[in-house]
Amino acid sequence: MNEWLFTYFCVGLLSHVKIGTSIGINYGQIANNLPTPENVIPLVKSIGATRVKLYDADPKVLKAFANTGVEFTVSLGNEYLAKMRDPDCAKAWIKSNVQAYLPATKITCITVGNEVLTFNDTSLSGCLLPAMESVHTALVNLGLDKQVSVTTAHSLGVLGSSYPPSAGAFRKDLVDCITPILDFHVKTASPFLINAYPYFAYKGSPKQVSLDFVLFQPNQGIVDPASNLHYDNMLFAQIDAVYAALASLGYKKLLLHISETGWPSKGDEDEAGATPENAKKYNGNLIKLISSKKGTPMRPNCDLNIYVFALFNENLKPGPTSERNYGLFKPDGSPAYSLGISAVTAANTTVASPTPPALPDTSSGNDPDSGSGSTGYLSISSATKARYEFVGSVMLVLVFFLISLLL
Would you please indicate which residues are annotated as catalytic (active-site) residues? 115, 260
Which residues have C-beta within 8 Å of that of residue 33, sequence separation ≥ 6? 315, 331, 332, 360
> Which is nearest to 381 in space by CA: 310, 329, 286?
310
Residue 88 burial (10 A CB sphere; 0-12, 13-18, 19+): exposed
Which residues have C-beta within 8 Å of that of residue 307, sequence separation ≥ 6? 24, 25, 26, 51, 53, 257, 258, 259, 260, 261
Per the rule left: phi > 0, alpha: psi between -120 and 50, beta: everything else, 142 is alpha
Taken as a whole, the chain contains a residue count of: 407
Residue 308, strand partner residues: 25, 261
Would you say 154 and 257 are in contact if contact means Cβ atoms under 8 Å apart? no
Phi then psi dihedrals of residue 271, to 5 deg:
-105, 80
